[in-house]
Structure 1
Amino acid sequence: ITYENAVAKYEHSMLLTQYENALIQLVFFLGVILALVMGLAWTIFARIEVQQQQLIASSETLKHLNLKLEQASYTDSLTGMFNRRYFNIVYEREFKRSLRSNNPFVFMMLDIDFFKQYNDTYGHLQGDVALQAVAKVLKTTLQRPGDYPFRLGGEEFGIILTDIDCKNARSMGEKVREGIESLKIEHKGSKILPTLTISIGGICIVPTADMSEDALIHTADTNLYAAKERGRNQVMFTNTL
C-alpha cells in the first residue's frame, strides 16, 4: 500500500508538473500572440495617425490654395485692387443692405484725365506705373472697413463707401483727388496741368424699392462726364438720380 501510494503521489506530481509546464507554455504563447497583436495594432494606429495628419495637412493646403484662387479671381493683377467681378458682388450686396437699413449708399467713378495722351507720350509700361500709383493712393486713403476701391478696367476706377454720410463721402472723394494731384506725376499731354490728375463722379443716396442698381451707376457716370466737361481734376457729386 505504501508503495502504491508513493507511485500515485509520484504520478500525481508528474501530472501537476506537466500541467504547470503546459500552462506556462500556454501563457508564454498567449503572451507572444498578445505582444504581436499589440505591436500590429500600434503599427496600424500609428499609420492611421500619420495618414490623418497627412489628410489634415492636405486639407489645409487645399483650403489655402482655394483661398488664393478665390482671391486671385477677385483681384486685379496689375494694381492688386479688387476687380470688376468683385465689384459686381459688393455693389449688389451693399445696395441691398442700404435698402434694408435705410442708410446712404455711396458710389463713385473716377478716370485719369487725358490718360490716352499719357500713354501716347510716355508709353504703356509707364502708363501701368501710373495706374499702380493711383491704386496706391486709393488703397491708402480708403482704409475704413466699409471702404471698397476697385479697378473697373483701363483707367477707370470705382469706389463704394458704406456707413458714411453724404458730406463725408464727398470729402473722401476730394481726399482721393488731392492725393493723386499731390503725387506730381509728370503729364505733358494734359491740357489742364503738367501733372497727372483725376476726375470723379459720384452719388450718395438712400435707396428705395423702386430704384434700380443700374440707375446709380448711370448717375455716377453722368456726374463723371460732367466733371470732365467742367474742366476735369474735380469731384462732381449729387444726392439724386
Structure 2
Amino acid sequence: MSARIDEQHPLQVLQEENFRLRAELAALRDSERVFHALLDNAPVLISTKDLRGTVTMANRHFDILDGYDAAHFVGSNVFELFPHDIAEQLWRNDRKAALEKRAVHEEEQVYHTDKTLHTYMTVKFPLLDAAGEVVATCAVSTDISEAKAARIDSVTDELTGLKNRRYFNIRFAEEQKRAHRDQRMLTLLLIDVDRFKEYNDHYGHPQGDLVLQTVADAMHVTLCRPGDLSFRIGGDEFACLFTSNNVDESVALAEMIRDYMAAQQMPHEANLPYGHVTLSLGLAFVPPDSELGQGAIYELGDQALYRAKHKGRNVVSC
C-alpha cells in the first residue's frame, strides 16, 4: 500500500518546528530590544524592588542621582542607597502598593549629583506571580521639579516668600484631613501688625515692606517643624497652620512670634504705648473630629484676633 500523500516526513516536521521556534526567538529578541531601548532612552527613572526593599532592576537614568554606583545599585537595599529620610518615603510608597495591591501615585524627593533636591511624580504598582501574589513592586518616576517650581511661584508672595491666600485655601482642607487622620489638634493662627496703616503713613512703604519681611522671618524662625505652614493673606495679615499636642503648646508658639517681633524694637511712634512695631495674634483650635468648615474656623480665628486688638494689642488671644 502506498503512503498517504498528505503525510509529512518527520524531517519536514522538525524543519518547520525549527523555523517556528527561530521566528518566535527572533520576535522575542526584537521585543527585548524594544524593552531595553525604552529603559535606556525614556527620560524617566524605572526600577523594581523585591518585598524586602532590595533593588532588582534600574534603568541607566539612575546615574543622575547623588551617590549612584552602577556596580552596586542593583542588589542593594533602598536604605543602603539613600539617606534615611528619603529611603523611608520611597519604601513607604512601595509597601503601600504591595500591601494594597494597587497603583500608588505620590510625589517623592531625591538628590541629584549636583546636590540639588528634585521632586518626582512616581507611580508604584505591584508585580504579581502566576498565582496572583505580589512578588515585587515597580516604580516609574518623572522629574516635575521645574513644573512644581512654576506652580509654587504662582502661590508664593513675592515680598515675603510666604505662601499666599490662594495656597492657604488649597491647603486648609488638606491639613484638616491630615490632623483628623493623625488625631491631632490643628491650630489656625492669625497675625496682624498693630497700626500698620499709621506706620506706612509715617515711615513710608519701603520701611513698611521691611516690617512685613520681618514678620515673615519671625514666622519662619518659630514655625520650622515639618508640617508647619505660614502664609501672607494680604496686606499686613498673616496666617499659620500647624498641629500641636495641646492648647498651651500652640499659645507658646504664638508668644514666640510676638516676642521675636517685639525684640526687633522697630520704631513706631503711632503705636502707643509701646513705641515700636508689635503684633496682635488670634488662635483658633480645631479638634481632630471637628465638623466645622474653613469659613467657620477662620471666623473663630478672626474673633480671637479682634479680642487681642481690644485688649490693647501686642497680645496673643484665644
TM-score scaled to structure 1, two decimals? 0.70
Q: Are 1:68 and 2:149 an aligned pair? A: yes
Paired with 1:67 and 1:212, the residues of 2 have a C-alpha distance of: 28
| Equivalence for 2:224 | 143
| Equivalence for 2:261 | 180
Q: Is the CA contact (8 Å cut-off) linking 2:231 and 2:238 kept in structure 1?
A: yes
Paired with 2:144 and 2:180, the residues of 1 have a C-alpha distance of: 34
| Equivalence for 1:13 | none
Instruction: In structure 2, give the amino acid aligned to 1:140.
Output: V
Q: Deviations over 1:2-57 (max 9, x none)?
A: xxxxxxxxxxxxxxxxxxxxxxxxxxxxxxxxxxxxxxxxxxxxxx9xxx599999
Q: Is the CA contact (8 Å cut-off) linking 2:162 and 2:230 kept in structure 1?
A: yes
Give the 5 Å matches for 1:72-83.
72-83=153-164
Instruction: In structure 2, give the amino acid aligned to 1:159.
Output: C
Task: Mark the runs of 5 or more structure 2 residues left unpaired by the alignment.
Answer: 1-36, 45-60, 65-119, 121-142
Give the Å deviation of 1:209: 5.3
Instruction: In structure 1, give the amino acid aligned to 2:306.
Output: Y
Instruction: In structure 2, give the amino acid aligned to 1:155.
Output: D
Change over 3 Å in CA distance of 1:134–1:209 after alignment to 2: closer
Instruction: In structure 2, give the amino acid aligned to 1:67.
Output: K
Paired with 1:87 and 1:159, the residues of 2 have a C-alpha distance of: 9
Task: Mark the runs of 5 or more structure 1 residues left unpaired by the alignment.
Answer: 1-47
SS of the equivalent of 1:201 reads: strand
| Equivalence for 2:176 | 95
Instruction: In structure 1, give the amino acid aligned to 2:237.
Output: E
Paired with 1:203 and 1:74, the residues of 2 have a C-alpha distance of: 24
Give the Å deviation of 1:150: 0.8
SS of the equivalent of 1:222 reads: helix
Paired with 1:209 and 1:144, the residues of 2 have a C-alpha distance of: 24
Measured on the aligned residues, the alpha-carbon RMSD in Å equals 2.6
Q: Between Structure 1 and Structure 2, whose CA radius of gyration is higher?
A: 1
Paired with 2:212 and 2:198, the residues of 1 have a C-alpha distance of: 14
SS of the equivalent of 1:158 reads: strand
User: Pick from 151, 157, 162: which aligns with 2:243?
Assistant: 162
Which deviates more, 96-105 or 143-152? Answer: 96-105
| Equivalence for 1:21 | none
Q: Is the CA contact (8 Å cut-off) linking 2:231 and 2:240 kept in structure 1?
A: yes
Paired with 1:87 and 1:209, the residues of 2 have a C-alpha distance of: 19
SS of the equivalent of 2:225 reads: coil
Give the Å deviation of 1:196: 0.3
Q: Is the CA contact (8 Å cut-off) linking 2:187 and 2:244 kept in structure 1?
A: no
Q: Are 1:206 and 2:258 an aligned pair? A: no
Give the Å deviation of 1:75: 1.0
| Equivalence for 2:194 | 113
Q: Deviations over 1:180-220 (max 9, x none)?
A: 00011111121231110000000123143542222111010
Paired with 1:163 and 1:224, the residues of 2 have a C-alpha distance of: 20
Identity of aligned residues (%): 35
Q: Is the CA contact (8 Å cut-off) linking 1:146 and 1:163 kept in structure 2?
A: no
Change over 3 Å in CA distance of 1:54–1:236 after alignment to 2: closer
Q: Is the CA contact (8 Å cut-off) linking 2:244 and 2:250 kept in structure 1?
A: no
Give the Å deviation of 1:140: 1.1
| Equivalence for 1:227 | 308
Give the Å deviation of 1:135: 0.6
Paired with 1:227 and 1:158, the residues of 2 have a C-alpha distance of: 15
Give the Å deviation of 1:100: 3.5
SS of the equivalent of 1:146 reads: coil
Give the Å deviation of 1:125: 1.3
Q: Are 1:104 and 2:185 an aligned pair? A: yes
Higher strand share: 2
Give the Å deviation of 1:126: 1.0
Relative contact order (C-alpha < 8 Å, sep 6+): which is higher? 1
Paired with 2:307 and 2:235, the residues of 1 have a C-alpha distance of: 20
